Amino acid sequence: MGRLILAILFCFCCSQVTGQPDTLCWIGAITIQGAKRTKEAIILRELQVRTGDTLSVDLLPLRIEDSRLLLMNTGLFTKVNIYYKDWEGKTGRVHLRVEVDEAWYIYPVPVFDLADRNFNVWWVEQNRSLQRVNYGLDFSHLNFSGNNDPLKMKVQFGYTRKYNLRYSLPFINRKKTVGVSLYAEYAQNREVNYATLDNKQVFYRDEDNFTFTRFRTELGLVYRPGARTFHYAEAGFSRNRLDPFVADSLNPNFFLGGRSLQRFFSLSYEFTQDFRDVRAYPLDGYFFRARLTKDGLGIFSDRNALTLNTRYEEYWPFSRKWSLGVISEAKFSIIRAQQPYNDNRAIGFSGAYLPGYEYYIADGLDMAMVRSIFRFKVLDTEFRFGKWVPLPAYRAVPFRAFLALNMGWGIANDPFPTSIGNPMNNRPLWGGGIGLHLVFFFDKVILIEYSTNHLLEKGLFLHLNMNI
């Protein structure tokens, strides 16, 4: 007991010598206003303070701003404000009030989208063909039970006949750290991309039959120990069928060995840390993701691959208007055997694009690329439509516009004969240009970019991210 008293006295004396300790406050209560469908537990889950927490007064504003950004990044709200409702100076007790404007969650949206990799390919190379358009109904409920659990169903016709269903529940345990997801899809096409020539897709079409049929189902488990850290494990099964004429005569390597049927189970693990301020269009922070996927578990012999995919982003704001972002991606095939053509994607798919190469793809076992974006904010305002818009949450539309300078470098490694006739494989690529980036609300992004590549080809390109 005597030693404890001496230790307390020692710490007290040190605090007097080194300076006064930080002023502390404690969170006495948190109230939420404006949440009509979203459960309070979902909002409290994103907050970086809890009732009963004691922390430095200097740290509190940083925690509140971090909480606001996390709530906005859920996509559930169009506006979030967090206020000090009461502050008792004598006791340091703080009462926080969280005010949210909920977004519109139900989107029974008519499907009218393009089958090609991006708008530019459809507009220029496919001559705006309506045969390459998908139509149907895409029903999305982004907050199905009020627990930030999106339910998405699609019935689609046109270029691709597709039916799919996806449901995600962010937590199933009392600590709200473990969640699940389910996904199933069935799709058919009369046209199939069976090969790559001159680094462009080559297609075969049969008006009377479906040339390519796919079925995929997945079960996922997510563990979120912290607000910005995720672990995701997934088990899946795929069954794909190809027209025998394509497998025999056009590309025997589509599934390898002239197969027209491909079946395989898969397992994957993904680790993500997301410290970006705004996920849809970040200006500050960093993002890291690594995904390891094993396709083929020995039950069928149709597929055998072990692939590591990584992505790292970092953003630096120099002032209120100037910022720099660097995005890097890599793919490495741990099993070095030749892979089926349909599974040998590298540059040009799934958002992995280089500026100036929107019309090209590069296949390969491995891939590495880096993009930089230097931006200047030219406009930051809010459009107000008043009662002309029936939904209150959309009567005010935040809008930002940026001028951007883009640069990109990349390479796809394809050590097999499939690289013959594709001069952009196995060589460094670079491109860049200028752009106008438009951001509506918090997560609707339109990129208009004028870019060139190493062939000195120039073009105006459009990229959209509506986050629905």
217 with 265, same domain: the answer is: yes
| 29 close to 51: Cβ distance less than 8 angstroms | yes
Per-residue pLDDT band for 285 (boundaries 50, 70, 90) equals very high
Higher per-residue pLDDT: 201 or 326: 326
The model's pTM: 0.80
> How many Cα neighbours within 13 Å face the side chain of 118?
24
In this prediction, residue 229 carries a pLDDT of: 95
Least confident of 59-73, 124-138, 159-173, 372-386: 124-138
Lowest mean pLDDT segment, chosen from 133-142, 164-173, 213-222: 133-142
Q: Do 95 and 114 share a structural domain?
A: no
165 and 271 share a domain?
A: yes
Q: Are residues 299 and 156 in the same domain?
A: yes
Q: Which of 138-142, 197-201, 211-215, 407-411 has the lowest mean pLDDT?
A: 138-142
Domain that holds residue 207: 106-465
Q: How many CA atoms lie within 13 A of 287 on its CB side?
A: 20
What pLDDT is recorded for position 132?
65
Q: Domain containing 18 — which CATH number?
A: 3.10.20.310
Residue 4 has pLDDT above 60, yes or no: no
Could you tell me if 45 and 154 lie in one domain? no
Residues 98 and 111 in one domain: no
- Say yes or no: 223 and 317 in one domain: yes
Q: Which among 68, 102, 136 is the end of a domain?
A: 102
Nearest to 359 by CA among 218, 269, 453, 224: 453
| CA geometry: angle 63, 67, 70, nearest 5 deg | 140
pLDDT tens digits for range 16-57: 444 445 688 888 889 999 888 898 888 999 999 888 888 888
Interval 294-310: pLDDT, tens: 999 989 989 999 999 99
Domain harbouring 115, CATH code: 2.40.160.50
Q: 321 pLDDT band (50/70/90 cuts)?
A: very high
User: What are residue 123's phi and psi, to 5 degrees?
Assistant: -70, -40
Task: Please report where in the chains the tokens 């009509």 appear, as a residue.
Answer: 36
**Which of 186, 228, 203 minimizes the C-alpha distance to 45?**
228
Instruction: Measure the CA–CA gap between 432 and 291, rounded to whole angstroms.
Output: 28
Tell whether 87 and 114 lie within a shared domain.
Answer: no
Q: What angle do CA 355, 229, 52 make, to 5 degrees?
A: 135
d(Cα 87, Cα 21) in Å, to the nearest integer?
A: 20
Amino acid 12: pLDDT: 40
Which of 35, 69, 102 marks a domain boundary?
102
Which of 55, 77, 102 delimits the end of a domain?
102
Same domain, 175 and 28: no
Tokens matching residue 290: 């690594």
> Which of 222, 257, 221 has its CA nearest to residue 242?
257
Structure confidence by residue, pLDDT tens digits, 454-467: 999 998 888 877 66
Q: Are 205 and 255 members of one domain?
A: yes
How many structural domains comprise the chain? 2
pLDDT of residue 395: 73
What are 198-236's pLDDT values in tens digits? Answer: 999 899 988 888 899 999 999 999 999 988 999 999 999
